[in-house]
Amino acid sequence: MTQSLFELEQNNAFIGRHIGPTEQDVADMLAVVGAESLDDLIRQTVPANILNDQPLGIGASRTEVEALSYLKSLARQNKVNKSYIGMGYHDTHVPLVIQRNVLENPGWYTAYTPYQPEIAQGRLEALLNFQQLTQDLTGLDLASASLLDEATAAAEAMALAKRVSKNKKANIFFIADDVHPQTIDVVRERAEHYGFEIVVAPADAVVEHEVFGALFQYPSTTGQIRDIKGLIEKVQSQKGIACVAADILSLVLLKAPGELGADVVLGNAQRFGVPMGYGGPHAAFFATRDAHKRSLPGRIIGVSKDTRGKPALRMAMQTREQHIRREKANSNICTAQVLLANMSSFFAVYHGPEGLKRIANRVHRLTDILALGLQSKGVALKHDTWFDTLTVVTADKDAIVARALAKGANLRTDLDGALGVSLSETTSRADVAELFDIFLGEGHGLDVETLDTRAAAGTDSIPVELQRDNAILTHEVFNKYHSETEMLRYIHKLEMKDLALNYGMISLGSCTMKLNATAEMVPVSWPELAQIHPFAPLDQTQGYQQMIAELEDWLVKVTGYDAICIQPNSGAQGEYAGLLAIKKYHESRNEGHRDICLIPSSAHGTNPASAQMANMKVIVVACDKQGNIDMADLKSKAAEAGENLSCIMATYPSTHGVYEENIREVCEVIHSYGGQVYMDGANMNAQVGITSPGFIGGDVSHLNLHKTFAIPHGGGGPGMGPIGVKAHLAPFVAGHAVVKTDKESRDNGAVSAAPFGSASILPISWMYTALLGDEGLKRSTQLAILNANYLMKNLAEDYPILYTGRNDRVAHECIVDLRPLKEASGISEMDVAKRLNDFGFHAPTMSFPVAGTLMIEPTESESKAEIDRFIFAMKQIREEIRQVENGTWTLEDNPLVNAPHTQDDVMDNEWNRAYSRELAVFPSADVRRSKFWPTVNRIDDVFGDRNLFCSCLPTEAYGE
């Protein structure tokens, strides 16, 4: 019978495109794992008492065309005004060669954090350029490779100041009152939990306090360029640490804060070619003195060398970071903003020092013209120095703002008796003429050309002593790629060094590297979403509000919670936000003494690091032989904590990759002592549609939208870590000092600079949810579990699987234990990881959560063919290990310890290894057909940390 039109119209093809295996594959894989159906597999795998067979209630899956056209209709409800709001966010021209080849290129956006540096030299180089850019502009010698935003970078600066200040008795952190308000908000909130005292006062008042650190804004939030040298000296004279939040474009013209003596300089790199995106994502920069290197927060890229002595880049000094140091880490930062840091560094490479000066000088000239014109009409300006921002004193705010809005322009309105106006790279002469109309009304008779003649004759709006007098960006990389052809090829050359999802599976356990569908990514570049200032009036952002409300509603359904706080910019920030909600809840019940946080030994490093930031005492709970939370230990530690128990942080399914049978009991034990249950939601990919943290008994969880909900990892960020909470915690989630929503929590302190975090990537998760609907979301979870169990079953023939749950099943990931093999052969998990590179695979998660293991998560998006290819590689590798075990190869001379192999290896005149060149680089027929070449040999980590070098190397050093 022919199909009806209705049947022909049923199109949920996206589900089949998101999910790798076909119906036939599913049948075959079920047979291998020994389950009758997907439902049967789930019943065998997931404890019955947490299975929830209620539909999610999100609705049917939508087609890409439907979802995109609806989302476009929402986006159109945003009003894209010209933004003169400033406050750290400015319009910018994203160079199209960067937009198309980095922001919109899966070769860049689907990569993972460069923990496997041999296959990540491209993005490591782009990040090293970012560090060099930061060093040049700030005048300090050590920079990190990006933080989440300017406000949290300032909070990190405060934490660094406390660590390194020699004034150990001081407990005050001073913030000049002309720092951006959202920064003050975030730092104040952070300080409260660290137990620091915050003083916000006019900058000069810093002399009146004994401080361990102080923060100044340069130029100030209202645009003034003040000589902060004297203030910095005052802070340092009492052994305090002087921190400066600076505007990146102004630094092109201004004397570097480092030269003025600052100890820490930080800021937002957004206006270097990254759209405002209604708040993000963009990268913060952070620089300090070399002396404070061990206290630096976040990732640092360093130059080391590989086994051939060739320079090679890697993440340096990881022993500072949460994944190693846990609650003693400098910060909880994990995911940061790598993709955006790369965009900003490419922006600098593209424009070079001359191009950047032209941009900065043009913005400044137009500001001079605006100032001269306004002053000539008797308008008072608050300051007599400026770079791009004027604060206009006026009794006539409402009329001016009304004229601005009528012309589609947003001014800064939150100042008493004044309006702010910040110009940007996108401001034109015509815009300045329009600003005259806005401030003065029509008929003012001012003429931009005439004013320009006066401005060009010279102004003292940047005091001479604060003008930059040294060259910036002298390194070759910033002076070479100015034609579009050269730029295109430089971007591509770096991309080719990196293994991203567009090449092959990245089976990183706990990281859920699934498909980032093109339809999900497309809205990110829409101007209606990209060109919106985070503090634009709410009535101009109705499309965003509606999209966020819908996404929140879906996330409520998915998590089983009552409310969502969308603000945190990463999983770790979500943890911090969630723990603060717990803390404030206890305080609201006069139980502020509850400060003990139980954390199972298997937890991700961010958990203890975040608990420390919330000023909780971390008590580690043991795991039993099966990898589950040891119930006896849990009960005794909970009892011991008693009325001081604040919460537990538990990951579900556990980071050991199994659904613990006792999870409900865990929740009950904690609740029975009045504690709260924080469930780390990084593993939601094993829950969506079949159970939920709220259903299980959690009180709060963060969701890694950059794991389960399809936001790409960007080579180490962006991410989004919204939290879901039960109703009793909803009043205690983050608010915002500048943007007031109608939520009960609106007046709480903020955890991010922007009210809705990195709003412009939320459409990715919105699209993901809309495209899959109830059916596709549930099926994705089922397939994630099937793929993992299929993989596990095949690998178990050759490798011990560390933990399994009921019926010998794993959840959505599995841990392969390489310790027994290492014992027998000397071959380590590192050797296996690097040998996988020769096969064209990214290594799985190495030595987390258990040292000496690999944790593998295929996700639902990988096809059976790709998983089979991976299984084949792992079996070949097992054979190779056997040859070491049985003495065919020595431990020093075999393809595992020498992996990864490079073109340099095969080009050696002499090949005197115990195995062939062919085996080295073409270990399978498949690889021969399509070879990914690691560009460096194995990198020497110890050398890199001992000889820390974090700036760009001269090209000759690479022997090019």
Ligand X SMILES: *Cc1c(COP(=O)(O)O)cnc(C)c1O
Residue 800 Cβ vs ligand X, minimum distance, rounded to whole Å: 23
The stretch among 298-306, 312-320, 368-376, 564-572 that binds ligand X (CB under 6 A) is 564-572
Scanning residues 630 to 659, which ones bind ligand X (CB under 6 A)? 651, 655
Q: What is the DSSP letter of 383?
A: -
Residue type at position 743: K
Minimum distance between the CB of residue 721 and ligand X, rounded to whole angstroms? 5
Closest separation in Å from C-beta 680 to ligand X? 5
User: Could you tell me the smallest distance in angstroms from the CB atom of residue 578 to ligand X?
Assistant: 11
Of the residues 128, 206, 360, 572, which one makes contact with ligand X according to CB under 6 A = 572
- Residue 682 interacting with ligand X (CB under 6 A): yes
Nearer to ligand X, 510 or 692 (CB): 510
Which of 330, 331, 704, 853 is in the footprint of ligand X by CB under 6 A?
Answer: 704
802: helix, strand or coil: coil
Token pair in block for residue 509: 């356990």
Nearer to ligand X, 511 or 669 (CB): 511
Interface pattern 822-851 for ligand X (x via CB under 6 A): ------------------------------
| Ranges within 6-25 binding ligand X (CB under 6 A) | none
Task: Select 81 or 510, whichever has its Cβ closest to ligand X.
Answer: 510
CB of 602 to ligand X, least distance (A): 9
How far, in Å, CA of 565 to CA of 702, rounded?
A: 9
Nearest residue (CB) to ligand X, 682 versus 952 = 682
Residue with Cβ nearer ligand X (129 or 335): 335
- The span from the CA of 394 to the CA of 645, in Å, is 54
- Closer CB to ligand X, residue 213 or residue 578? 578
Q: Is 604 in the site for ligand X (CB under 6 A)?
A: yes
Q: What angle do CA 883, 889, 891 make, to 5 degrees?
A: 105
> Hey, what are 718's tokens?
């962006």
Rounded to a whole number of angstroms, the minimum distance from the CB of residue 802 to ligand X is 17
510, 612, 787, 935: which one contacts ligand X (CB under 6 A)? 510
The Cα–Cα gap between 141 and 146 comes to: 15
- Position 359 contacts ligand X (CB under 6 A): no
Q: Does 708 bind ligand X (CB under 6 A)?
A: no
Q: Does 602 bind ligand X (CB under 6 A)?
A: no
Q: Does 721 bind ligand X (CB under 6 A)?
A: yes
The single residue among 45, 217, 541, 570 that binds ligand X, judged by CB under 6 A, is: 570
Rounded to a whole number of angstroms, the minimum distance from the CB of residue 572 to ligand X is 3
Choosing from 606, 628, 780, 859, the residue that interacts with ligand X (CB under 6 A) is 606
- If you search the block for the tokens 């080719």, which residue do you land on? 496
DSSP labels for 904-917?
HHHT-S---SSS-H
**In this structure, what are the phi and psi dihedrals at residue 143, rounded to the nearest 5 degrees?**
-130, 155
Q: Which of 680, 813, 831, 857 binds ligand X (CB under 6 A)?
A: 680
Q: Is the link from the previous residue into 900 a cis peptide, with omega within 30 of 0?
A: yes
Distance of alpha carbon 427 from alpha carbon 960, whole angstroms: 41
Instruction: Outline where DSSP puts E strands in 388-447.
Output: 389-393, 409-410, 418-422
State the minimum distance, in angstroms, from the CB of residue 581 to ligand X. 17
Stretch that binds ligand X, among 280-288, 566-574, 782-790, 798-806 (CB under 6 A): 566-574
Taking the least distance from each CB to ligand X, the nearer of 182 and 606 is 606
Q: Which is nearer to ligand X, 337 or 606 (CB)?
A: 606
For residue 135, the 8-state DSSP code is H
- 664-690 residues labelled b (16+ CB within 10 A) or e (exposed): ebbbebbbebbbbbbbbbbbbbbbbbb
* Distances in whole angstroms, Cα of residue 431 to Cα of each of 178, 233, 286, 435, 437: 27, 40, 33, 6, 10
SS3 635: helix
Rounded to a whole number of angstroms, the minimum distance from the CB of residue 94 to ligand X is: 24
Query: 380-381 and 389-393: which strand pairing?
Result: antiparallel
Q: Which one-letter DSSP state was computed for residue 675?
A: -
Nearer to ligand X, 148 or 786 (CB): 148
State the sign of the Cα–Cα–Cα–Cα dihedral 942, 946, 949, 955. Answer: negative
Pairing of strands 723-725, 197-201: unpaired
Q: Which long-range contacts (CB under 8 A, 24 or more apart) does 444-449 make?
A: 444/373, 444/377, 446/373, 446/376, 446/377, 448/369, 448/373
DSSP, collapsed to helix, strand or coil, labels residue 623 as strand
Q: According to the binding rule CB under 6 A, does residue 571 interact with ligand X?
A: yes
Q: How far is the CB of 569 from ligand X (least distance, A)?
A: 8
606 vs 628, beta carbon nearer ligand X: 606
Tell me the closest approach of the beta carbon of residue 666 to ligand X, in angstroms: 16
Q: Where are the beta strands (DSSP E) in 403-489?
A: 409-410, 418-422
The residue written with tokens 């970078």 in the block is: 153
Number of residues in contact with ligand X, rule: CB under 6 A?
15
In angstroms, the Cα distances linking 855 to 422, 630, 839, 846 are 49, 21, 18, 7
Give whichever of 335 and 540 is closer to ligand X, judged by the CB atom: 335
Whether 795 contacts 874, CB under 8 Å? yes
Cα angle at 802 between 799 and 807, to 5 degrees? 100
> Contact region for ligand X (CB under 6 A) — 173-181, 541-549, 567-575, 590-598?
567-575
| Closest separation in Å from C-beta 108 to ligand X | 18
Helix/strand/coil for 791: helix
* Residue list 425-454, contact with ligand X (CB under 6 A): none
**Residues paired with 243 in a beta bridge:** 215, 264
Q: Considering the complex, what minimum distance in angstroms separates the CB of residue 506 from ligand X?
A: 14
Three-state secondary structure readout of 508-567: ECCCCCCCCCHHHHHHHHCHHHHCCCCCCCHHHEHHHHHHHHHHHHHHHHHHCCCEEECC
Min separation Cβ 403 and ligand X, Å? 44
Residue 498 DSSP one-character state:
B
Range in contact with ligand X (rule: CB under 6 A) among 182-190, 438-446, 568-576, 738-746: 568-576
How much is the CA Rg of the chain, to the nearest whole Å? 28
Helix/strand/coil percentages in the chain, nearest 5: 45, 10, 40
Q: How far is the CB of 627 from ligand X (least distance, A)?
A: 14
- Decide whether 175 or 762 has the Cβ nearer to ligand X: 762
If one asks whether residue 685 binds ligand X (CB under 6 A), the answer comes out as no
Nearest distance from C-beta of residue 95 to ligand X, angstroms: 28
Nearer to ligand X, 606 or 853 (CB): 606
Site string for ligand X, 514-553 (x = CB under 6 A): ----------------------------------------
Which of 716, 934 has the CB closer to ligand X?
Answer: 716
Task: Identify residues 112-141 at the interface with ligand X (CB under 6 A).
Answer: none
Q: Which residue is nearest to ligand X (CB)?
A: 571
| Residues in region 322-341 near ligand X by CB under 6 A | 334-335
In the complex, minimum distance from the CB of residue 319 to ligand X, in angstroms, rounded to a whole number: 18
Tell whether residue 288 is a contact of ligand X (CB under 6 A): no
- Contact set with ligand X (CB under 6 A): 334-335, 510, 570-572, 604, 606, 651, 655, 680, 682, 704, 719, 721
